[in-house]
Structure 1
Amino acid sequence: MADTKARTRRQILEVAAEILERDGAQAVSTRSVAAAAGIRAASLYQLFGDKDGLLSALAIHAFDSYLAKKQNLAHSDDPVEDFRRGWDIHVDFGLRHPAFYLLMFGTGRPGRRPPAADEAHDRLMKALDRIAAAGRLRVPAPLAAGLSSAAIVGVTLSLVGTAAEDRDPELSPRLRDTVIDSLTTGPAPVADPGLASRALALDAALAATDRPPLRPAETALLRDWLDQLAR
């Protein structure tokens, strides 16, 4: 029974995805999806509740496709270069699947977080923690995450909203390099990386440790001090 329900759910999402990519989000309705999937509308309501529930599930389905591309990106010895390649994959996904991207990262009203925001933020923080652990992050990771996320989502939405023939091919690469270069240091080690870089590197190391050498309250206090030193 559970397997049948899972297959039906996946079938509905695949049909909805086809409609979304072909005709846009406005064409995705419970009636159109149920008819295309060859099921009763009642079955769709049981699985997703309503159109908003279906679109939320579809956004997660789209994000799974996006993550599949990201997971194919093997880590190199240079976390900053990996970050640049991750930026390019993000923008490329948005341009190849604009309807999906708008569903994942767009928002219908002020104050509402996009469906993909939390998962995207978690993955972004992991990438920045690698850079910090290498001693190459200039600012605290949360600030770097906010700046880079605003830049990459902003430029992708801008390109998605521009006709293909009018897109400037240099827009994303130039913004990518400007943002990343402002947040990170070069690969060559320097004689004195500075107190901020050292604090960020130690904070990243503590965050990656399963069993910190200090008690929880002490670890929290130390990380707060490191955050202050990194500013």
Structure 2
Amino acid sequence: MTEHEGSGTRERLISAAAELIAASPGEDFSLRAVCDAVGVKMPTLYHFFGSKQGLIDAVVEHGFDVYLGQKESMGSSGDPIQDIRSGWDAHVAFGLENPGFYTLMYGKVRPGHSPEAQSRPSEILRGLTARAAEQGRLAVPSDQAAAHVLVANIGVTLRHIVLAQPDPELSAAVREGVIAAITGTARDSTDPVAATIEIVAAAPDVLGEAESALLLSWLTRLRGERRDDSGSR
């Protein structure tokens, strides 16, 4: 078997396993069924993956490739908080569309084990919260903000999968609650400047992108000066 043929066989085994998982979300799958679908013997599968868990890890990696490919096609709004909102909604939608992949990616827990591929979307989220922190828009450290968003997003998505139907009102309510918590802009917030920043950032088309960017710059500077003044008292 040449290196090219070996690579092709490995990818076909991953695809076959992915199709079986997608067809029966949450259920176990047979290694023999995977081999039969590709037309190879069991030793070939073990040669590439070493074990069933090795194959599962490869399928998880494939799931994250699909997920991140969809996220990259979305692009950026230019506003990190709005991108967190969009990323949240895309995360939930991916879970509903791919429950088999998703339950492997986030629902199968082994103590002390975290698939390496999980770090890739987490890094994207931490990048967004770091940008929000640089703009003075977080009430908690950026890593903590990213963790809050991720665990809540996973919890909502798994609930949707368990119920086997979307619940956009629940998702939006939890999303906005988390964003209010990490930005300090809850409905009863005593910081009107912070609340105004989030309103402008969430709807840049109302004033126009250039005008919104300028207003956000002024508001962020004003919020910083207010904090400095209160801290000096």
TM, length-normalised to structure 1: 0.77
Greater fraction helix: 2
What's the CA shift for 1:149? 1.0
- Partner of residue 102, structure 1: 103
What's the CA shift for 1:144? 0.4
Preserved CA contact (<8 Å) 2:136 2:220: no
> Residues 190 and 46 of structure 1: is their aligned pair in 2 closer, same or farther, counting only changes over 3 Å?
closer
- What letter matches 2:8 in structure 1? R
Tell me, in whole angstroms, the C-alpha distance in 2 between the residues paired with 1:55 and 1:156. Answer: 21
What's the CA shift for 1:146? 1.4
Tell me, in whole angstroms, the C-alpha distance in 2 between the residues paired with 1:163 and 1:76. Answer: 30
> Residues 190 and 119 of structure 1: is their aligned pair in 2 closer, same or farther, counting only changes over 3 Å?
closer
What's the CA shift for 1:152? 0.3
Tell me the secondary structure at the aligned position of residue 192 of structure 1: helix
- Once the two structures are aligned, what percentage of the paired residues are identical? 38
Is residue 193 from structure 1 mapped to residue 226 from structure 2 by the alignment? no
What's the CA shift for 1:182? 2.1
Tell me, in whole angstroms, the C-alpha distance in 1 between the residues paired with 2:32 and 2:85. Answer: 42
- Partner of residue 80, structure 1: 81
What's the CA shift for 1:163? 3.2
Supply the RMSD in Å over aligned alpha carbons: 2.2
> Residues 115 and 156 of structure 1: is their aligned pair in 2 closer, same or farther, counting only changes over 3 Å?
farther
- Partner of residue 175, structure 1: 174
Q: Which moved more, 1:148-157 or 1:173-182?
A: 173-182
Cα distance per residue 1:38-96 (max 9 Å; x no partner): 11111110000111000011000010000000101211222211111111100000000
Preserved CA contact (<8 Å) 1:107 1:114: no
What's the CA shift for 1:181? 2.3
Tell me, in whole angstroms, the C-alpha distance in 2 between the residues paired with 1:144 and 1:74. Answer: 21
Tell me, in whole angstroms, the C-alpha distance in 1 between the residues paired with 2:167 and 2:77. Answer: 29
Is residue 144 from structure 1 mapped to residue 174 from structure 2 by the alignment? no
Tell me, in whole angstroms, the C-alpha distance in 1 between the residues paired with 2:140 and 2:109. Answer: 32
Preserved CA contact (<8 Å) 2:57 2:115: no
Gaps of 5+ in 1: 199-228
Preserved CA contact (<8 Å) 2:64 2:118: no
Preserved CA contact (<8 Å) 1:16 1:58: yes
Q: Which moved more, 1:57-66 or 1:119-128?
A: 119-128
Cα distance per residue 1:129-168 (max 9 Å; x no partner): 222233322211111011111100011011111132xx53
Preserved CA contact (<8 Å) 1:62 1:104: yes
